């Protein structure tokens, strides 16, 4: 086998609001395949998400000839890992990927199952890493509680408010099934374990992808990024844990006073405040779930694939807090990126200005002007207050790069492709 | 629906601190005097309307007639915890007690910030570790949540924030402070943002300590911890002063109480008491980066006041000990502690009348505190409160405002002879905003009021306070607020710095104004102003607000306005979560 790929092809599947990206590294006599994420929270058009992901999984299997060389799950959001879900009957998309027997499975350090602690163990004495992981788990439990409560509240909320709550609530659920598939894939891999990565670690793909240098730029570990540590002082992990516990407890309606009499019909003098309370509660739940969403996005793996002078950047949904460390340490390395997978489906917060301004291959600049940007997204599903994809960002991407996006694909196309010749 | 007319003031059983603070194995209780008023089911009185609706469960609990007597006088712990009727009466009594404390301190009726006469109080608003005042909803909301089993809680045990005395007082204080200084919720610099939280904590803690049951408990914890070595047991009527010094009271007593207080609630209440004891004084803290965030900065105010409280109390105990050879009567020590807390609480509230109407800083509040107290209590001999407070604030780097007098108090107007009174009427000046505006208009220069700004008299409040000698002190406090909107490009003409990255067309709103205190003859006694053209203050405020602005800030929306009625519940959650806020606008595309 030649020591370096000649061509890299990125197949970006039209999964709606989510990511499913298949990288094919073409060597002289063979090809090697890396799957980066597979999930959706809102399929394109009226497609059924389950059916779509099954179709995508089979297409990946066909394209890679039944053999994946690596699987990357950037973070555990549903729109990135739902496609790894298995079914009892063995015909889930996760079952398909499992039988593709990846040689390596890459996850962020926060998903290491060894960091899981007894949910009721006091936080005192826990290592900072374990505390962080525990806070994140608590947050996901909280998202479950939010979802359950949002269903009860739905009749009292506007349709738009109920929809955005359900969307973010579902995306932030634990996705345990998908994670277990990934851990199982790791156990069956050469290394017998997933690689749980933080900034600066070896990716573990050195033997899998000869001639390709894979830089792990994020997420930072707690020791690396004191800002993370500062965010996590005091009892905040406990707050999430508490909310998560409340969420698990209140999957049915909470009942503080069993046997206490209820009012059958709200009296006129109470209707105003009752309506206000319900609306306010809807807003509160949305804020909770937004905080959870941001925190989980910031656990995203940021990978930079380097083949010769071509660099391909995959930041998952990393937001500014995750990016900060990479930008401090790797600004130079990031300058001549050739392909940029647009962060977090084109939302606010995920494409730092300093990253974009540093790109030298943008068109209209002094460089080669051959920057490619690829965005996997779906408009109007992420709520109205935070426009995704953000028009200002898309305008800039269209102006300064060759911009590809899943909404720009012909109707009924399962995927689009871009090629980079080395 | 029947109603009850009460015959006279009466006291209801309330939980003294929260259900985890015990006395002889039972929840520590106290009694709160509730007003003599017509009560409808709820309870619903002339200032408070308790509505027991749970938005998480979407149910409303029935409430029946409210008995005039103390219906839960002999009730056991289990009933207090499980009977929603007790929860409603507990929260009603504490909110009304807090309102009465404010009205007593200020010598007049006090409005809720949300307007209207009756504030909604929702004791079981939702299943969440949160409680807050919402101006827009005219309400105080109290959440409840399941206890984590790890803390030794029983299965299915719930924590009710409406049963925590300090939490209820804290939220009520937000509503009252908002009524007294409506512009303190406006975007300003971090001191003002922190003040709402810090002040609510101060009032909450002092309110709890003004009950003898809690002070007795603190003393007993201190004795329990330090007394063994000194051969003293709990319950003895005479105690050695040696184990009741400031350090012992703080470390053993207050900290011990903090340890017993609802362990589920630090996330919610921010652990104010524990932090107030453990925060080591340093005059660098006030200017340190660590204390820039409003929800942390509030702790400085609480620590400064509570450490002064401890110092004064210890000093009093030592003095009592001089009489009886190093021993002090427990009851006297308890009485003194509760009286001191009450005096400090009154002083802290009264200071609000001497605060500027906007852009409040901690030094402003300290000067207001000292002035308010000196006006009424010339003799500071009993407790030395003013001296202790000055020292305690200084220990955290907070000094009275520059230009204050030697005692740190506001100065009287420099040129009273230049003030024009002849075009205004004394009687009207005491209650009529139009008359006050006329006075302002005739004295623009002397009152440092900029005629180019929109100017409004936002309150005129006549007050009547009883001095220790029994005489009545009449004052009138008027707030004048000024607003001016500029484009960033116009700032430099006024000597105000444009924050880096702000577009020239960005609209900005500046505030200013003054609090004018008139004496009983209608003469201006204090003029506490914030000039709208104060270059240093306005530059610092804009720089701070621009840093806080969301990254996708729409330039057509002005910076400096938009006080958000929901801000407090976000602040409370932030205090609990300490999760990072929005990214800075310069960082994202």
Residue B145 tokens read as: 């949540």
Domain identity same for B101 and B135: yes
Q: What percent of chain A has pLDDT over 90?
A: 57
Most A CBs within 10 A among B41, B267, B557, hence the mutation to make, goes to B267
In-domain check, residue B185: no
- Mutation for B interface: A121, A151, A239, most B CBs within 10 A: A239
Chain A residue with Cα closest to B553: A348
3-state secondary structure of B40: strand
pLDDT of residue A293: 83
Indicate whether B581 pLDDT > 60: no
Q: Over the stretch A209-232, which tens digit does the pLDDT of each residue have?
A: 999 999 999 999 877 875 554 444
**Mean pLDDT, range A317-331, rounded to an integer:** 88
Interchain CB contact of A89 with B (< 8 Å): no
Domain parsing of chain A, residue ranges? 7-115+171-228+296-421
- Written as six digits, the tokens of B86 are 């007790």
- Judging contacts by C-beta atoms under 8 Å, the chain A residues touching residue B136 are 276
pLDDT exceeding 70 applies to what percent of chain B? 89
Residues B257 and B356 in one domain: yes
DSSP B559: B
Give the residue from B248, B167, B251 showing the smallest Cα distance to B572. Answer: B167
Does one domain contain both B483 and B531?
yes
Any domain includes B233: yes
Contact B57, A253 (CB under 8 A): yes
SS3 B415: coil
**Looking at the predicted structure, is the pLDDT value of residue B379 above 80?**
yes
Q: How many structural domains comprise chain B?
A: 3
- Whether residue B243 sits in one domain with residue B174: no
Measured between CB atoms, does A162 come within 8 Å of chain B?
no
In a domain, B155, yes or no: yes
Inter-CA distances, B235 with A345, B215, B217, B221, Å: 67, 14, 11, 11
Neighbouring CB atoms inside 10 A of B111's CB total 18
Question: Who among B53, B577, B587 is closest to A353 (CB)?
Answer: B587
- Looking at the complex, report in whole angstroms how far the Cα of residue A139 sits from the nearest Cα belonging to chain B: 11
Residue A264 near residue A166 (C-beta atoms within 8 A): no
Confidence of residue A90 (pLDDT cuts 50, 70, 90): very high
Dist CA A36 CA A15 (whole Å): 13
Do the Cβ atoms of A231 and B552 come within 8 Å?
A: no
* Residue-level pLDDT at A354: 87
Q: Which pLDDT belongs to residue B543?
A: 92
Token pair 């004495």 is found at A125
Residue B251 DSSP code: I
Q: How many alpha carbons lie under 13 Å from residue A363 in its C-beta half-sphere?
A: 12
Cα torsion B516, B522, B523, B525 to 10°: value is -40
Average pLDDT on B318-325 reads: 79
Verify whether the Cβ–Cβ distance B160 to A256 is below 8 Å.
Answer: yes
B176 with B207, same domain: the answer is no
Say yes or no: B168 and B235 in one domain: no
Residue A253's pLDDT is what?
Answer: 54
Distance CA A326, CA A337 (A): 14
User: Is B264 in contact with A254 (Cβ distance < 8 A)?
Assistant: no
> Which residues numbered 532-571 in B keep a CB inside 8 Å of some CB on A?
551-552, 566, 569-570
Test the A interface: residue of B121, B296, B583, B586 with most A CBs within 10 Å: B583
- 0.90 surpassed by pTM: no
Same domain for B133 and B218?
A: no
Region A160-187 average pLDDT: 87
Give the tens place of pLDDT for each residue, B76-127. Answer: 999 999 999 999 999 999 999 999 999 999 999 999 999 999 999 999 999 8
| Per-residue pLDDT at B149 | 64
Question: Is the pLDDT higher at A171 or at B159?
Answer: B159
Of the candidates A242, A287, A349, which has its C-beta nearest B267's C-beta?
A242
> What is the structure's pLDDT at B572?
57
The answer to whether B258 touches B265, Cβ cutoff 8 Å, is no
- Residue B586's pLDDT is 39
Instruction: Choose the weakest-confidence range: A54-68, B60-74, B265-279.
Output: B265-279
Specify whether domain A7-115+171-228+296-421 bears CATH 1.10.10.60. Answer: no
Determine which of B42, B56, B87 to mutate to test the interface with A (most A C-beta atoms within 10 Å).
B56
Task: With respect to residue B13, please indicate whether it lies within any of the assigned structural domains.
Answer: yes
pLDDT of the residue at B150: 54
> Does residue B267 lie in a domain region?
yes
Query: What's the domain range around B119?
Result: 4-180
What integer pLDDT is reported at residue B567 of this predicted model? 52
**Are residues B383 and B334 located together in one domain of the fold?**
yes
Q: What is the pLDDT of residue A402?
A: 96
Residue B225 lies in a domain: yes
Q: Which residues of A99-111 are buried (b: 16+ CB within 10 A; e: fewer)?
A: ebebbbbbbbbbb
pLDDT at A245: 57
Q: In this predicted structure, what is the pLDDT of residue B367?
A: 98
User: What pLDDT was estimated at residue A5?
Assistant: 96
pLDDT at residue A258 in the model: 81
- Cβ atoms of residues B301 and B365 within 8 Å: yes
pLDDT greater than 60 at residue A115: yes
Together in a domain, B426 and B331:
no
Residue B191 has pLDDT above 70, yes or no: yes
ipTM of the predicted assembly exceeds 0.85: yes
Q: How far, in Å, CA of B423 to CA of B435, rounded?
A: 9
pLDDT band for position A146 (cuts 50, 70, 90): confident
Q: What is the pLDDT of residue B552?
A: 60
Both tokens of residue A242?
């508490």
**Cα(first)–Cα(last) distance of chain B, in Å?**
61
pLDDT confidence of residue B252: 81
Q: Are residues B309 and B439 in the same domain?
A: no
Q: What is the pLDDT of residue B573?
A: 54
Helices of type H across B493-566: 535-548
* B459 upstream amide cis, omega within 30 of 0: no
Average pLDDT over every residue of A367-388:
82
Task: Give the distance from residue B393's alpha carbon to the nearest chain A alpha carbon, in angstroms.
Answer: 25
A341: tokens are: 């997978």
For residue B202, the model assigns a pLDDT of: 95
Please name the member of A236, A249, A273 whose beta carbon is closest to the beta carbon of B137: A273
pLDDT exceeds 90 at position A61? yes
- Taking only the tens place, the pLDDT of each residue in B411-446 is 999 999 999 998 889 889 999 999 999 999 999 999
Least confident of A93-107, A366-380, B211-225: B211-225
Identify the pLDDT of residue B374: 93
Within this chain, do residues B379 and B484 fall inside the same structural domain, yes or no? no
Question: Tens of pLDDT along B128-140?
Answer: 888 999 999 999 9
Q: Do A234 and B126 touch (CB under 8 A)?
A: no
Mean pLDDT of chain A: 87
For the stretch A14-50, pLDDT in tens is 999 999 999 999 999 999 999 999 999 999 988 999 9
Is B186 within a domain? no
- Inter-chain Cβ pairs, chain A and chain B, closer than 8 A: 172
Whether A76 has a pLDDT exceeding 60, the answer reads yes
The helix/strand/coil state of B32 is: strand
User: CA of B83 to nearest chain A CA: how many angstroms apart?
Assistant: 7
Tokens, residue A374: 């690829």
DSSP secondary structure string for all residues of B452-468: TSEEEEEEEEEEEEE-T
Asked if residue A338 lies in contact with residue A420, where contact means CB atoms within 8 angstroms, the answer is yes
- Give yes or no for residue A268 having a pLDDT over 50: yes
- What local confidence, expressed as pLDDT, does residue B156 receive? 65
Give, in order, the Cα–Cα distances in Å from A15 to each of A36, A81, A116, A312, B79.
13, 12, 31, 21, 55
Per the prediction, chain B carries an average pLDDT of 87
What is the predicted pLDDT for the residue at A247? 56
Chain A: residue whose CA lies nearest to B61: A262
Work out the percent of chain A whose per-residue pLDDT is above 70: 88
CA B264 remoteness from chain centre: 23
Alpha carbons B163 and B142: distance in angstroms, whole number:
9
Q: Report cis status (omega within 30 of 0) of the bond before A282.
A: no
Instruction: For residue range A292-306, list pLDDT tens digits in order.
Output: 888 888 889 999 999
Q: How many CA atoms lie within 13 A of A332 on its CB side?
A: 1
Tokens in use for A297? 């996005």
Percentage of chain B modeled with pLDDT above 90: 61
Say yes or no: A331 contacts chain B, CB-CB below 8 A: no
Q: What 3-state DSSP class applies to A2?
A: coil
What residue has token string 């003469």? B523
B356 and B246 both lie in a single domain: yes
Residue A165 pLDDT class (50, 70, 90 cuts): confident
**CA–CA separation, A45 and B532 (whole Å):** 55
Instruction: Report if residue B576 sits inside a domain.
Output: no
Q: What is the C-alpha separation between B149 and B188, in angstroms, rounded?
A: 42
Count of all residues that appear for chain B in the document: 589
- Per-residue pLDDT at B377 exceeds 90: no
Report the interhelical angle of A159-171 vs A128-153 (nearest 10°): 150
Position A176 scores a pLDDT of: 86
| Residues B137-169 pLDDT 10s | 999 999 998 776 655 555 667 889 999 999 999
Of A34, A32, A39, A33, nearest in space to A13 by CA: A39
User: In this predicted structure, what is the pLDDT of residue A302?
Assistant: 97
Instruction: Report d(CA B259, CA B569) in Å as an integer.
Output: 25
How far apart are the C-alpha atoms of A146 and B56, rounded to whole Å?
Answer: 10
Q: In the prediction, which pLDDT does B587 show?
A: 39
Residue B4 has pLDDT above 50, yes or no: no
Whether the predicted pLDDT of B584 surpasses 50: no
Distance, in Å, from the CA atom of B324 to the CA atom of B328, rounded to the nearest integer, reads 7
**pLDDT grade for B8, boundaries at 50, 70 and 90:** very low
């Amino acid at each position: 086998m030649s020591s370096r790929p000649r061509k890299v092809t990125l197949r970006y599947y039209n999964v709606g609001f989510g990511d499913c990206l298949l990288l094919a590294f073409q060597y002289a006599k063979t090809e090697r395949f890396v799957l980066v994420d597979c999930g959706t929270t809102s399929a394109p058009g009226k497609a059924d998400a389950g059916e779509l992901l099954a179709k995508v999984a089979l297409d990946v299997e066909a394209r890679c000839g039944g053999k994946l060389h690596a699987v990357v799950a950037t973070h555990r959001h549903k729109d990135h890992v739902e496609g790894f879900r298995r079914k009892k009957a063995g015909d889930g998309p996760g079952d398909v990927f499992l039988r593709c027997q990846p040689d390596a499975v890459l996850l962020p350090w926060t998903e290491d199952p060894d960091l899981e602690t007894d949910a009721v163990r006091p936080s005192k004495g826990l290592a900072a890493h374990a505390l962080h992981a525990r806070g994140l788990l608590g947050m996901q439990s909280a998202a479950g509680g939010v979802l359950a409560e949002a269903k009860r509240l739905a009749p009292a909320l506007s349709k738009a408010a109920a929809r955005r709550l359900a969307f973010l609530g579902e995306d932030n659920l634990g996705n345990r099934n998908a994670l277990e598939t990934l851990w199982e894939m790791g156990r069956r891999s050469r290394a017998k374990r997933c690689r749980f990565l933080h900034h600066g670690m070896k990716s573990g793909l050195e033997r899998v992808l000869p001639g390709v240098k894979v830089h792990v730029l994020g997420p930072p570990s707690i020791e690396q990024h004191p800002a993370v540590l500062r965010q996590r002082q005091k009892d905040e992990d406990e707050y999430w844990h508490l909310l998560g516990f409340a969420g698990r407890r209140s999957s049915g309606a909470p009942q503080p006073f069993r046997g206490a009499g209820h009012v059958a019909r709200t009296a006129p003098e109470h209707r105003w405040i009752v309506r206000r309370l319900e609306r306010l509660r809807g807003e509160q739940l949305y804020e909770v779930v937004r905080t959870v969403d941001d925190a989980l996005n910031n656990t995203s793996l940021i990978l930079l694939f380097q083949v010769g002078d071509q660099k391909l950047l995959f930041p998952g949904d990393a937001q500014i807090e995750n990016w900060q460390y990479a930008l401090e340490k790797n600004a130079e390395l990031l300058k001549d990126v050739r392909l940029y997978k647009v962060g977090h489906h084109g939302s606010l917060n995920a494409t730092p200005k300093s990253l974009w301004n540093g790109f030298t291959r943008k068109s209209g600049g002094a460089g080669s002007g051959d920057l490619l940007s690829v965005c996997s997204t779906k408009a109007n599903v992420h709520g109205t207050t935070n426009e995704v994809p953000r028009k200002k960002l898309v305008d800039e991407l269209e102006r300064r790069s060759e911009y590809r996006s899943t909404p720009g694909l012909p109707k009924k196309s399962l995927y689009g492709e871009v090629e980079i010749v080395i | 629906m029947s109603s009850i007319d009460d015959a006279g003031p009466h006291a209801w059983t309330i939980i003294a601190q929260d259900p985890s603070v015990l006395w002889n194995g039972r929840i520590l209780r106290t009694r709160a005097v509730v007003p003599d008023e017509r009560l409808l089911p709820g309870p619903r009185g002339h200032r408070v309307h308790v509505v027991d609706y749970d938005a998480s469960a979407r149910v409303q609990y029935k409430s029946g007639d409210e008995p005039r007597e103390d219906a839960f006088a002999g009730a056991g712990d289990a009933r207090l915890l499980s009977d929603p009727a007790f929860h409603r009466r507990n929260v009603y009594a504490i909110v009304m007690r807090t309102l009465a404390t404010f009205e007593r301190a200020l010598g007049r009726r006090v409005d809720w910030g949300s307007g209207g006469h009756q504030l909604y109080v929702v004791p079981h608003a939702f299943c969440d570790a949160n409680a807050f005042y919402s101006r827009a909803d005219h309400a105080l909301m109290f959440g409840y949540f399941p206890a984590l089993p790890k803390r030794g809680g029983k299965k299915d045990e719930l924590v009710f924030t409406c049963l925590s005395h300090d939490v209820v007082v804290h939220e009520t204080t937000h509503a009252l402070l908002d009524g007294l200084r409506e512009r303190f919720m406006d975007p300003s610099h971090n001191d003002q943002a922190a003040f709402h939280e810090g002040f609510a904590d101060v009032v909450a803690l002092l309110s709890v300590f003004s009950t003898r049951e809690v002070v007795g408990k603190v003393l007993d914890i201190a004795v329990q911890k330090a007394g063994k070595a000194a051969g003293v047991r709990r319950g003895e009527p005479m105690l050695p002063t040696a184990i009741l010094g400031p350090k012992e009271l703080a470390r053993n007593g207050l900290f011990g109480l903090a340890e017993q207080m609802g362990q589920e609630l630090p996330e919610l209440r921010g652990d104010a008491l524990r932090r107030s004891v453990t925060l080591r004084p340093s005059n660098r803290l006030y200017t340190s980066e660590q204390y820039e965030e409003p929800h942390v900065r509030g702790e400085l105010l609480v620590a400064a006041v509570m450490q002064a409280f401890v110092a004064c109390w210890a000093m009093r105990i030592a003095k009592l000990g001089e009489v009886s050879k190093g021993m002090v009567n427990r009851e006297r020590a308890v009485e003194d502690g509760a009286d001191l807390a009450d005096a400090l609480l009154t002083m802290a509230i009264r200071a609000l009348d001497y605060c500027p109407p906007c852009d409040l800083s901690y030094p402003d509040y300290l000067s207001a505190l000292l002035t308010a107290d000196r006006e009424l209590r010339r003799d500071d001999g009993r407790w030395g409160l003013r001296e202790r407070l000055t020292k305690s604030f200084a220990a955290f780097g907070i000094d009275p405002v520059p230009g204050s007098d030697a005692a740190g108090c506001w100065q009287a107007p420099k040129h009273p002879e230049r003030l024009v009174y002849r075009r205004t009427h004394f009687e009207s000046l005491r209650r009529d905003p139009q008359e006050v505006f006329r006075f302002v208009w005739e004295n623009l220069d002397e009152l440092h009021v900029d005629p180019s700004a929109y100017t409004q008299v936002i309150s005129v409040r006549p007050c009547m306070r009883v001095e220790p000698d029994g005489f009545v002190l009449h004052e009138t406090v008027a707030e004048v607020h000024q607003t001016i909107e500029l484009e960033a490009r116009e700032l430099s003409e006024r000597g105000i710095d444009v924050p880096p990255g702000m577009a020239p067309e960005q609209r900005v709103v500046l505030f200013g104004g003054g609090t004018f205190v008139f004496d009983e003859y209608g003469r201006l006694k204090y003029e506490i102003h914030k000039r709208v053209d104060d270059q240093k203050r306005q530059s610092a405020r804009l720089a701070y607000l621009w840093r806080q602005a969301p990254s996708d800030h729409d330039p057509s929306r002005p910076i400096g306005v938009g006080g958000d009625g929901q801000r407090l519940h976000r602040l409370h959650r932030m205090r609990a979560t300490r999760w990072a806020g929005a990214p800075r606008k310069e960082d994202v595309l």
